[in-house]
């Protein structure tokens, strides 16, 4: 537990109470700073859990619901550090003691033909790169990839892992994952296993628009964790209860004990800007009342879709460069929970439905929770919660032939259930059937599925499209007392995740402490593992990139053959000296 410093007279207003806002409040309060956090909707932001009103009977709690299941990959280091500092009775490791290892990943296939179960536990010991490829559902023969496809994808990973930082920002940031992985002309199986599966089931982004910088970086980080490189941590962890119960509620209690003022129901309407920076924030309360919040410094920890509304209300006046955030794109990754009358663990971990047109992922939650689910939640007949994320909302389904955005809520639930059954039933085994289904709950942040008007998602997720890095703000702004935090702010984890939000908040706090002259030590911002064995290869690539030359291992795929039988060369954009990396 960090030592709390004595107050230094610095007042900070944190605008937004999601992961970024609560992280910033923690770091500041531990350094004796006077902190006020305002949040319009609920503590924890998109990470919070909720419940289905009126479903509890006989003294039981209402059935738990959420925006989507939470998981903590092994390369998350900043966020677990925060969890360890949140006190929890009986746990010397704080709230981090509520994490449980998810030991397996199932790559489910239609009719269970060609499915693959992978042990990702720490107990499995050291692994080889070929085992990493198999963990992604990639193998040769049968329904799997051809040998040349598997080898080429291995080449793609090696190219990215040995690319210099300059090339990652200067070339791969401008290259879509579709183009980088050479999807054109490849087989459907290659698309599912290597191209689409690597994006939609993780970051809710289309491979055609998501940058290779982002997808390659995520697979690299996950791969090092799976291979046991760097800090040895479980590759996949989940909480032992609903997110708010196991994490957010103890966090809010801890912040209150540190003297943080937590004001729920207040929305930021406008920033007032003067010659010396931000002078105040105009707030609207839960009953429509208005008041001004004043502080010495401000941390804007609002989600990216809410930041846009402030651009014409003071934010752009504070820093005109922040207008670039309006170029950032969001997409939908939405949770739906199916409540089952019997335990259906499937596997002890996550399931990736590679043949699902809606890019489904799921986890059976009751097996990880430290309670008797049937005795704790609902009406006494519910024994499990199958939590599912829907990542593709524009692709026709298998039941109604419509994309999710055009379905009613009931049709979405029926379609998801059909796709789950397609991946988990077959070859003489029936994992799911209608008799198991008690009820379901679709994220209420999605509105208008039953009309009128087009469907709306109140809590979309940032997607890292090509060239989006330049539009993402830094923690420091042109206003000397305004700092940015959130999963869209530039940070070592180049992905809209809880870890990214946590890191961005730490960067904002460090910038604030430095600007104010506060004596508190800076917050630690963890970097991703970079193996020493690849350092020289990256240096060589940096030299090649500066000369405008391609990566030494970068070549066309076996299926890219011209009419003359010669393979088309891969080119480096940006002229003879190569592209310049955004700063």
pTM: 0.93
- Of 393, 396, 371, give the one whose Cα is nearest residue 384: 371
Same-domain pairing of 383 and 272? no
Average pLDDT over residues 126-133: 73
Same-domain pairing of 346 and 390? yes
Window from 152-166, 229-243, 467-481 with minimum mean pLDDT:
229-243
- Of 285, 200, 234, 239, give the one whose Cα is nearest residue 49: 239
- Residue 88 to residue 236: CA distance in whole angstroms: 22
Same-domain pairing of 452 and 476? no
pLDDT at residue 567 tops 50: no
Question: CB-based burial of residue 341 (10 Å sphere; 0-12 exposed, 13-18 middle, 19+ buried)?
Answer: middle
Q: Which has more confidence, 568 or 67?
A: 67
Same-domain pairing of 411 and 451? yes
Average pLDDT over residues 283-298: 96
- Residue 454 to residue 450: CA distance in whole angstroms: 9
Q: What is the pLDDT of residue 572?
A: 59
pLDDT at residue 249 tops 80: yes
Q: What is the pLDDT of residue 467?
A: 96
pLDDT at residue 314 tops 90: yes
Number of domains the chain is built from: 2
- Residue 102 to residue 363: CA distance in whole angstroms: 10
Structural domain includes residue 194? no
Same-domain pairing of 415 and 480? no
Same-domain pairing of 441 and 499? no
Quick count: other Cβ atoms within 10 Å of Cβ 143?
Answer: 14
Give 474's pLDDT tier (boundaries 50, 70, 90): very high
pLDDT at residue 140 tops 70: no
Residues paired with residue 237 on neighbouring β-strands, in sequence order: 101
Same-domain pairing of 351 and 317? no
DSSP labels for 369-394? SSS-HHHHBTTS---EEEEEEE--SS
Structural domain includes residue 151? no
Same-domain pairing of 33 and 62? no
Window from 236-240, 301-305, 452-456 with minimum mean pLDDT:
452-456
Q: What is the pLDDT of residue 9?
A: 87
Structural domain includes residue 502? yes
**Range of 22's domain?**
11-41+265-328+466-516
CATH number of domain containing 483:
3.50.50.60
């Amino acid at each position: 537990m960090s030592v709390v410093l004595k107050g230094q007279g610095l007042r900070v207003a944190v605008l937004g109470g999601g992961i970024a806002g609560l992280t910033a409040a923690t770091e500041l309060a531990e350094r004796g700073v006077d902190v006020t956090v305002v949040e319009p909707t609920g503590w924890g932001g998109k990470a919070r859990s909720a419940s289905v009103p009126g479903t509890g009977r006989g003294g039981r709690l209402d059935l738990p619901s959420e925006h989507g299941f939470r998981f903590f990959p092994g390369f998350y280091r900043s966020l677990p550090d925060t969890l360890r500092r949140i006190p929890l009775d009986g746990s010397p490791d704080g709230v981090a003691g509520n994490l449980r290892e998810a030991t397996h990943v199932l790559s489910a296939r239609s009719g269970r033909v060609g499915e693959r179960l992978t042990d990702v536990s720490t107990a499995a010991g050291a692994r080889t790169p070929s085992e990493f490829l198999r963990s992604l559902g990639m193998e040769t023969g049968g329904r799997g990839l051809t040998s040349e496809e598997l080898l080429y994808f291995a080449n793609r990973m090696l190219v990215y892992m040995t690319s210099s930082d300059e090339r990652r920002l200067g070339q791969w940031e401008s290259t879509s994952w579709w183009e980088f992985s050479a999807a054109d002309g490849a087989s459907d199986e290659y698309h599912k296993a290597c191209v689409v599966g690597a994006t939609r089931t993780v970051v809710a982004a289309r491979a055609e628009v998501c940058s290779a910088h982002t997808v390659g970086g995520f697979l690299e980080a996950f791969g090092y964790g799976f291979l046991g490189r760097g800090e040895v941590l479980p590759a996949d962890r989940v909480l032992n209860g609903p997110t708010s119960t196991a994490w957010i509620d103890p966090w809010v209690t801890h912040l209150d004990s540190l003297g943080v003022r937590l004001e729920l129901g207040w929305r930021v309407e406008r920033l007032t800007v003067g010659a010396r920076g931000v002078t105040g924030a105009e707030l609207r309360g839960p009953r429509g009342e208005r008041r001004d919040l004043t502080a010495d410094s401000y941390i804007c920890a609002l989600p990216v879709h809410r930041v846009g509304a402030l651009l014409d209300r003071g934010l752009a006046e504070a820093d005109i460069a922040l207008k670039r955030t309006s170029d950032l794109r969001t997409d939908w990754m939405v949770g739906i929970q199916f409540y089952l009358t019997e335990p259906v663990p499937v596997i002890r971990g996550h399931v990736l439905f590679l043949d699902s047109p809606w890019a489904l992922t799921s986890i059976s939650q009751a097996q990880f929770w430290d309670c008797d689910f049937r005795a704790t939640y609902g009406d006494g007949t519910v024994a499990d919660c199958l939590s599912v994320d829907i990542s593709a909302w524009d692709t026709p389904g298998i039941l109604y032939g419509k994309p999710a955005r055009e379905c009613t809520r009931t049709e979405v639930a029926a379609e998801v259930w059909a796709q789950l059954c397609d991946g988990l039933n077959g070859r003489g085994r029936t994992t799911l059937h209608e008799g198991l289904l008690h009820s379901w709950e679709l994220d209420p942040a999605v509105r208008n599925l039953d009309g009128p008007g087009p469907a709306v998602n109140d809590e979309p997720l940032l997607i890292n499209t090509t060239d989006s890095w330049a539009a993402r703000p830094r923690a420091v702004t042109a206003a000397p007392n305004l700092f940015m935090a959130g999963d869209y702010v530039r940070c070592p984890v180049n992905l809209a995740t809880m870890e990214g939000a946590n890191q961005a908040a730490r960067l904002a706090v460090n910038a604030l402490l430095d600007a104010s002259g506060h004596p508190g030590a800076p917050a630690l911002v963890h970097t991703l593992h970079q193996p020493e064995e690849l350092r020289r290869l990256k240096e060589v690539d940096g030299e090649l990139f500066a000369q405008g030359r391609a990566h030494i291992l970068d070549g066309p795929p076996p299926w890219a053959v011209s009419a003359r039988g010669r393979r088309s060369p891969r080119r480096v954009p940006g002229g003879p000296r190569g592209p310049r990396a955004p700063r």
